[in-house]
């Protein structure tokens, strides 16, 4: 069942560049006496900053906006150093084609792993600071005074001795011709005026008025629409189809083969295309994977717990096996985590226009450069003849970091040169041809001495590796380091506990169902595994779950700080209201320390009301606290939906869930009150969009045990006949 994908060299080279070296290239921006102009003719001070005569500041944003607030956060970083008038700031996306032509002037386009802001901070701030220095120098040159006598604030430059002033818009043309400084000094955090403020998002008005254009909204002159079906069994092939059966149907223009496993119908409207596609006789070669089911996958993963099976060690200290052998008491548990679909509001789509010497794509993507690489490969054209125009994303959560839909759109357009083709996946196609949260199981054993001190912990994860499938070049001697998120000895996803004897390992087993980066990725299941088992260990020796954790966290003060914060806020040390029960969890992911505490009630043994979740996060620095609060609340919608509803099952080699009638999401009435504690300690940049999602599940599961005395070790809860009250 193991599957190693083949790598196209062009995609590998550009794709790797897209992931790798943005920081080093962030300010490799062409300057000189020739003014580079924006589309409207306004001068470009540098690649990050365009200033119009009316003092409007256009900040270029390379990362993608999919609801998380990156657009506003990155603009804040640039504007802080630029010292511009925030009320006159707007943004635009550069294209990856432009970036490649300018030696990747905007750095990394990839938006995932909560990296959008945290790995951009230095070079985007330098972009703003460099532009500020150039603008001040231009004013000083006009006044024939030393630049050191001039200051800038709110897009106004002042000559301090004389009181003379001018605006950015008036000197932008001259500033664009100035040689940029080799070095610029960035502000000390204590001097920040915009970073750390909860300013309003820049994209809210257009979203609420319907002005915002998403990929699904793109319209081009003469555009046709395409609907597509791929083999329902992953790894299967397209054997044949009878085009004659649908050629005469209303609006149908063409039926085309797409790769070796899909067929598409092109028509005047998408509904006509889908109607014809549904009527099209198709014969699939489903292959041997048709024999695979959820049960066969689960059995195969369970076999990975056998000590004779190979496993990669992710974290080890002491001698856990010896300590377990000599333990006064042992506790053992096996947990399971399912496939989950991203279920974005906007199904996958892309619009492509191909001619013999040009190929353009319009789409929502989490990685413009990866989409660009896919366009090159699918079109067969060179980089100077291709481009991708990023649109706003109607949800991403990791799914739009992949490029299968882009390749399909280009492949279809290539068969109809000169005609724009909008490919839109149906909801069923989107559900059943995803890149799913990986399926895993985890067997855990804890050992105690005669005094009920935890002396050893052994965790053995059996299951899928995302990197094995998507980025095999990132494997380390065969090991997938991402599998151990939140369980590492050190780094941005380190374990919060110090155990004398520790062994955490991964028996890699890769079923045919393709895995993907699903919001929060591996911290989601690892937090449930570790934090629910920590509760089990505490209760097994009659200790309070909070105090049990505290004893093991003395050497990890930042982990402990967020845990203490939620415990204090939820009043852990005081009795809960009648019928209400509490649970705790903490974890680390994407450079941030997070913790959660839940209050729930249970009726009839299986109906859960989540009344309240308190969440704490230490992301180092907080660019926009208001956005962070919304990110935390939004992450709990995703995390709790996954906990209660989000499991995908496999039958006859295919995903069974096909739409929201059998892959549910939580409703507003089911959403608990969320209280956020943002406690940036400074000195590092952590992520925001994904870390907190992982603590919702274990906090609720631990509270459920407190309420019922029953341990739930497998999700989603719908499969345990547990629902929201």
What is the percent of the chain where pLDDT is above 90?
A: 95
Mean pLDDT to the nearest integer, 418-425: 98
Mean pLDDT to the nearest integer, 560-582: 98
**Assigned domain for 570 exists:** yes
Residue 699 scores a pLDDT above 60:
yes
pLDDT score for 332: 98
How far is Cα 647 from Cα 649, in angstroms, rounded to an integer?
7
Residue 14 scores a pLDDT above 70:
no
Mean pLDDT to the nearest integer, 617-625: 98
Do 501 and 368 lie in one domain? The reply is no
Residue 468's H or E segment, with its range, is helix 466-470
Do 298 and 183 lie in one domain? The reply is no
Residue 2 scores a pLDDT above 80:
no
Do 108 and 242 lie in one domain? The reply is no
How far is Cα 62 from Cα 47, in angstroms, rounded to an integer?
11
What confidence tier does 35 reach under pLDDT thresholds 50, 70, 90? confident
Beta strands in 509-604 (DSSP E): 581-589, 592-603
Do 188 and 260 lie in one domain? The reply is no
Do 571 and 441 lie in one domain? The reply is yes
DSSP lists the bridge partners of residue 587 as 594
Mean pLDDT lowest among 18-22, 307-311, 516-520, 641-645: 18-22
Do 441 and 503 lie in one domain? The reply is yes
Q: Name 316's Cβ contacts closer than 8 Å, sequence gap at least 6.
A: 502, 503, 504
pLDDT score for 198: 97
Beta strands in 70-201 (DSSP E): 89-92, 150-153, 156-159, 164-167
DSSP lists the bridge partners of residue 585 as 596
Retrieve residue 428's tokens: 């069923």
pLDDT score for 1: 34
Do 632 and 678 lie in one domain? The reply is yes
pLDDT score for 631: 97
pLDDT score for 9: 32
Do 190 and 259 lie in one domain? The reply is no
pLDDT score for 7: 31
**Assigned domain for 431 exists:** no
**Assigned domain for 526 exists:** yes
**Assigned domain for 16 exists:** yes
SS3 572: coil
DSSP lists the bridge partners of residue 351 as 362, 422
Q: How far is CA 146 from CA 31, 131, 140, 164, 362, in A?
A: 22, 17, 6, 13, 47
Do 278 and 322 lie in one domain? The reply is no
pLDDT score for 240: 98
pLDDT tens digit sequence for 455-482: 999 999 999 999 999 999 999 999 999 9
**Assigned domain for 48 exists:** yes
Region of 283 (left: φ > 0; alpha: ψ -120 to 50; beta: rest) is: beta
DSSP lists the bridge partners of residue 493 as none
Mean pLDDT to the nearest integer, 254-279: 98
For residue 716, cis peptide bond before it (omega within 30 degrees of 0): yes
Q: Which tops the pLDDT comparison, 18 or 159?
A: 159
**Mean pLDDT rounded to a whole number for the chain:** 95
Retrieve residue 186's tokens: 């960035």
Residue 15 scores a pLDDT above 60:
no
The total number of structural domains in the chain stands at 3
Instruction: Please state, as a whole number, how many other Cβ atoms lie within 10 Å of the Cβ of residue 336.
Output: 20
**Assigned domain for 671 exists:** yes
Final residue of a domain: which of 184, 209, 234?
Answer: 209
Mean pLDDT lowest among 31-40, 234-243, 344-353, 609-618: 31-40
Torsion sign (Cα): 342, 343, 344, 349: positive
Going by their DSSP bridges, the two strands 673-678 and 607-618 should be labelled as parallel
pLDDT score for 195: 98
**Distance spanning both ends of the chain, measured CA to CA:** 40
pLDDT score for 13: 37
Order of strands across the sheet that contains 454-463: 312-317, 501-508, 454-463, 440-448, 329-337
Do 80 and 151 lie in one domain? The reply is yes
Residue 405: domain span:
215-287+348-424
Residue 651 scores a pLDDT above 70:
yes
Residue 491 scores a pLDDT above 60:
yes
- Whether the Cβ atoms of residue 289 and residue 512 lie closer than 8 Å to each other: yes
Closest alpha carbon to 193 in 687, 678, 623: 623
Do 612 and 466 lie in one domain? The reply is yes
**Assigned domain for 127 exists:** yes
Backbone angles phi, psi at 414, to 5 degrees: -65, -25
Residue 30 scores a pLDDT above 50:
no
Q: What is the CATH number of the domain that holds 54?
A: 3.30.365.10
Final residue of a domain: which of 167, 194, 209?
Answer: 209
Q: Which residues of 207-243 are buried (b: 16+ CB within 10 A; e: fewer)?
A: eeeeebebbbbbeeeeebbbbbbbbbbbbbebeebeb
**Assigned domain for 278 exists:** yes
- Whether the Cβ atoms of residue 185 and residue 125 lie closer than 8 Å to each other: no
Distance from chain centroid for Cα 61:
17
Do 442 and 418 lie in one domain? The reply is no
Whether pTM > 0.85 for this model: the answer is: yes
Q: How far is CA 538 from CA 216, 548, 594, in A?
A: 50, 6, 20
Torsion sign (Cα): 282, 283, 287, 290: positive
What is the percent of the chain where pLDDT is above 70?
A: 95
């Amino acid at each position: 069942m193991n599957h190693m994908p083949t790598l196209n060299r062009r995609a590998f080279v550009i794709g790797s560049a897209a992931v790798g070296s943005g920081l080093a290239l962030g300010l490799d921006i062409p300057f000189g006496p020739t003014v580079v102009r924006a589309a409207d003719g306004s001068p470009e001070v540098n690649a990050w900053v365009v200033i119009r005569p009316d003092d409007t500041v256009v900040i270029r944003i390379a990362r993608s906006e999919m609801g998380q607030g990156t657009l506003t956060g990155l603009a804040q970083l640039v504007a802080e150093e630029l010292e511009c008038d925030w009320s006159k700031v707007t943004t635009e996306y550069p294209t990856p084609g432009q970036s490649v032509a300018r030696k990747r002037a905007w750095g990394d386009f990839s938006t995932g792993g909560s990296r959008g802001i945290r790995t951009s901070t230095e070079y985007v701030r330098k972009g703003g600071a460099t532009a500020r220095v150039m603008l001040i120098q231009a004013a000083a040159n006009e006044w024939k005074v030393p630049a050191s006598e001039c200051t800038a604030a709110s897009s106004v430059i002042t000559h301090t001795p004389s009181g003379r002033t001018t605006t950015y818009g008036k000197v932008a043309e001259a500033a664009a011709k100035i040689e940029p400084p080799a070095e610029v000094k960035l502000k000390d955090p204590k001097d920040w005026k915009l970073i750390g403020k909860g300013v309003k998002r820049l994209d809210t008005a257009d979203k609420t008025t319907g002005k915002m254009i998403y990929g699904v909204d793109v319209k081009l002159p003469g555009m046709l629409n395409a609907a597509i079906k791929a083999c329902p069994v992953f790894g299967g092939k397209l054997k044949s189809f009878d085009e004659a059966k649908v050629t005469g149907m209303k609006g149908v223009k063409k039926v085309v083969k797409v790769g070796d496993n899909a067929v598409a119908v092109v028509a005047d409207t998408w509904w006509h295309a889908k109607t014809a596609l549904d009527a099209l006789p198709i014969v699939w070669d489903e292959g041997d994977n048709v024999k695979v089911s959820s049960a066969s996958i689960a059995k195969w993963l369970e076999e990975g717990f056998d000590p004779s099976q190979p496993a990669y060690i992710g974290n080890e200290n002491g001698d856990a096996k010896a300590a377990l052998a000599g333990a006064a008491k042992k506790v053992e548990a096996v947990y399971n985590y399912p496939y989950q679909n991203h279920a974005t509001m906007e199904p996958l789509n892309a619009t492509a226009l191909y001619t013999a010497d040009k190929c353009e794509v319009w789409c929502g993507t989490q990685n413009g450069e990866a989409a660009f690489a896919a366009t090159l490969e699918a079109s067969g054209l060179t980089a100077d003849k291709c481009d991708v125009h990023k649109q706003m994303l109607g949800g991403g959560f990791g799914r739009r970091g992949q490029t299968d839909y882009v390749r399909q759109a280009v492949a279809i357009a290539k068969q109809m040169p000169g005609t724009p083709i909008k490919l839109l996946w149906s909801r069923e196609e989107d559900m059943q041809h995803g890149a799913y949260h990986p399926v895993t199981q985890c067997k855990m054993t804890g050992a105690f001495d005669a005094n009920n001190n935890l002396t050893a912990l052994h965790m053995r994860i059996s299951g899928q590796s995302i990197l094995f499938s998507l980025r095999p070049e990132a494997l380390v001697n065969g090991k997938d380091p991402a599998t151990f998120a939140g369980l590492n000895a050190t780094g941005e996803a380190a374990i919060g506990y110090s155990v004398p004897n520790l062994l955490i390992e991964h028996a890699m087993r890769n079923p045919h169902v393709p895995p993907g980066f699903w919001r929060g990725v591996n911290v989601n299941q690892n937090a449930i595994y570790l934090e629910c088992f920590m509760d089990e260990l505490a209760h097994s020796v009659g200790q309070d779950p909070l105090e049990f954790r505290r004893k093991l966290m003395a050497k990890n003060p930042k982990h402990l700080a967020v845990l203490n914060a939620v415990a204090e806020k939820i009043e852990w040390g005081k009795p809960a209201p009648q019928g209400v029960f509490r649970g705790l969890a903490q974890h680390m992911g994407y450079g941030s320390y997070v913790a959660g505490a839940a209050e729930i009630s249970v009726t009839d043994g299986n109906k859960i009301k989540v009344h309240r979740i308190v969440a704490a996060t230490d992301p180092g620095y907080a660019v926009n606290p208001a956005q962070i609060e919304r990110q935390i609340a939004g992450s709990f919608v995703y995390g709790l939906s996954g906990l209660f509803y989000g499991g995908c099952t496999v039958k006859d080699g295919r995903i069974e869930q096909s739409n929201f009638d059998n892959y549910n999401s939580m409703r507003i009435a089911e959403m608990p009150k969320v209280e956020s504690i943002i406690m940036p300690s400074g000195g590092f940049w952590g992520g925001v969009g994904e870390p907190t999602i992982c603590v919702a599940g274990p906090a609720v599961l631990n509270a459920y045990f407190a309420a019922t005395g029953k341990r739930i070790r497998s999700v989603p809860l719908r499969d345990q006949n547990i629902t929201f009250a």
